[in-house]
Amino acid sequence: MSLKVRGLLAVSIGTVLGLSLSLGSAVLAERQDQVRGDLPWEEARLLAEVLERVKRDYVDEVDDESLMEAAIRGMVANLDPHSSYLNAEEYDEIRINTSGNYSGVGLELGIAESRIVVIAPMESSPAEAAGVVSGDVLLSIDGVPVDSSDLNDAVMRLRGDAGTEVRVAILHAGSEDPLSVELVRSQILVSTVHSDYIEPAIGYVRLSHFSETSAADLRREVRDLSARAGGRLGGMVLDLRSNPGGVLDAAIEISDAFLDDGLIVTAEGRVPDASFRLTAEQGDILDGAPLTVLVNGGSASASEIVAGALQDNHRATVIGTATFGKGSVQTVMPLSHGRAIKLTTSRYYTPSGRSIHMRGIVPDVVSDPAVVADADTDPQLSRALDFLKTQRVARSNTE
């Protein structure tokens, strides 16, 4: 499959994982000639005037580099919650994190209602072990309040060497009293795909986020599950709950893995590279066996692309609660001296033309785990298994 825009796609910059990005160095090279044009001299003069006033009269001395970086950060951050300026250190962190090795506390953060919120804690992370959950509001780090207009700052303050401690104040949904949590940063090697053979001929695949290896890992796990089922699975559960997103290519490839044809996703932007229309190629790894997809409020971005593609193509039944609702694509564009900007370049749409931004994917079957008292059960998974069993019986009767 040819893909014009390679990169990462997610809700926002992740605290531990740079999942919010799409790497776009090729895009930069093609756009160099488009950056030139008439400068807005009146506005440039105003900027210079403000910089000079701050340098001369501000209570503390501030150097030119710090002032210019602050001006650039403010300009880009003011566009939307997902666009930001990255200095050399931040950009280097992103490139390292895409390999799946990182040191931090294991949080994926986003901005909602002018607050920094937890999209999802990463599996087996210090944050998950400490009880931080999706929807928690991040209030402070080491006693210093977070700035909801500067997500990057919160991201970088939560990073650090493995073994070091960081104290965060969070607010659980429905609670009025903040909770102080001590976290010990750790080195984490992310494994994005986990599988289990949970019922006769039925496989379960959990995808924690979308990395560069996720599509290949998923295909390998499905092959192993099929072998355990005697060569062919009778059905499968794809669990995307609390999956905050990741690599755009992986979302496309995983959607394609379950489709023989059909549209996967479209995107629209102002420049040619930001607009694309991607379709599936023949080859369903389940050979048409029933498929269910589990989602919740922590399923975002790339997860929503997969859920939307499989739902709109009538390939899978989506079960759970409404997803996060992030329908834009960010591209990381390298600048001089190892710096970059992360810029929203596209809005994407499901095959039926739906924009899920601020709306999310509405499941075909709504199943709320909060209504079940037994904490040892997974009602959404049970609902998915019951549905697959029914589909298997119906399919057997027609063959």
Mean pLDDT of 21-33: 33
Give the pLDDT score at 390. Answer: 87
CB-based contact 220:194 (threshold 8 Å): no
In single-letter form, the type of residue at position 195 comes to S
CA 333 remoteness from chain centre: 18
Provide the percentage of residues in the chain whose pLDDT is more than 90. 60
CB-based contact 170:137 (threshold 8 Å): yes
Q: Where in the chain is the domain with CATH 2.30.42.10?
A: 101-189
**pLDDT surpasses 70 at 3:** no
Determine the 3-state secondary structure of 6 from DSSP: coil
Q: Where in the chain is the domain with CATH 3.90.226.10?
A: 193-398
Query: Which carries the bigger pLDDT value, residue 209 or residue 127?
Result: 127
Give the pLDDT score at 101. Answer: 64
Q: Give yes or no: 342 in active site.
A: no
SS (H, E, C) 188-235: EECCCEEEEEEECCEEEEEECCECCCHHHHHHHHHHHHHHHCCCCCCE
* pLDDT category of residue 76 using cuts at 50, 70 and 90: very high
Mean pLDDT of 175-182: 92
Which secondary-structure segment (H or E) carries 145?
Answer: strand 144-145
Query: Which carries the bigger pLDDT value, residue 375 or residue 201?
Result: 201
**pLDDT surpasses 80 at 159:** yes
Can you identify the CATH homologous superfamily of domain 101-189? Answer: PDZ domain (2.30.42.10)
Sign of the alpha-carbon dihedral angle for 212, 215, 219, 221? positive
* pLDDT category of residue 317 using cuts at 50, 70 and 90: very high
Of the candidates 83, 226, 301, 303, the residue annotated as catalytic is: 301
Q: What is the pTM of this model?
A: 0.70
Closest by Cα among 212, 168, 163, 175 to 17: 212
* pLDDT category of residue 247 using cuts at 50, 70 and 90: confident
* pLDDT category of residue 150 using cuts at 50, 70 and 90: confident
Least confident of 61-75, 114-128, 281-295, 362-376: 362-376
Give the pLDDT score at 376. Answer: 53
Rounded to the nearest integer, the mean pLDDT of the chain is 84
Mean pLDDT of 278-292: 96
Give the pLDDT score at 144. Answer: 95
In single-letter form, the type of residue at position 235 comes to G
Can you identify the CATH homologous superfamily of domain 193-398? Answer: 2-enoyl-CoA Hydratase; Chain A, domain 1 (3.90.226.10)
**pLDDT surpasses 90 at 369:** no
Give the pLDDT score at 184. Answer: 95
Give the pLDDT score at 372. Answer: 44
pLDDT, tens only, 193-238: 989 998 889 999 999 888 888 999 999 999 999 999 999 999 999 9
DSSP character string of 9-33: EESS--SSS-TT--B-HHHHHHHGG
Mean pLDDT of 300-316: 97
Cα distances (angstroms) measured from residue 123 to each of 8, 237, 241, 304, 361: 20, 18, 11, 19, 23
SS (H, E, C) 295-363: ECCCCCCHHHHHHHHHHHCCCCEEEECCCCCCCEEEEEEECHHHCEEEEEEEEEECCCCCCCCCCCCCC
Q: Give yes or no: 83 in active site.
A: no
CA 64 remoteness from chain centre: 35
Of the candidates 214, 303, 326, 328, the residue annotated as catalytic is: 326
* pLDDT category of residue 393 using cuts at 50, 70 and 90: low
Mean pLDDT of 166-194: 88
Cα torsion 99, 100, 106, 109 to 10°: value is 50
Mean pLDDT of 181-188: 89
Alpha carbons within 13 angstroms on the beta-carbon side of residue 68 total 6
Sign of the alpha-carbon dihedral angle for 280, 265, 276, 191? negative
Mean pLDDT of 31-43: 59
Alpha carbons within 13 angstroms on the beta-carbon side of residue 137 total 16
Query: Which carries the bigger pLDDT value, residue 94 or residue 253?
Result: 253
Helix axes 151-158, 88-97, angle to 10 degrees: 70
Give the pLDDT score at 100. Answer: 59
Of the candidates 136, 239, 249, 312, the residue annotated as catalytic is: 312
Mean pLDDT of 322-351: 92
Least confident of 78-92, 97-111, 220-234, 271-285: 97-111
* pLDDT category of residue 113 using cuts at 50, 70 and 90: confident
Q: Give yes or no: 60 in active site.
A: no
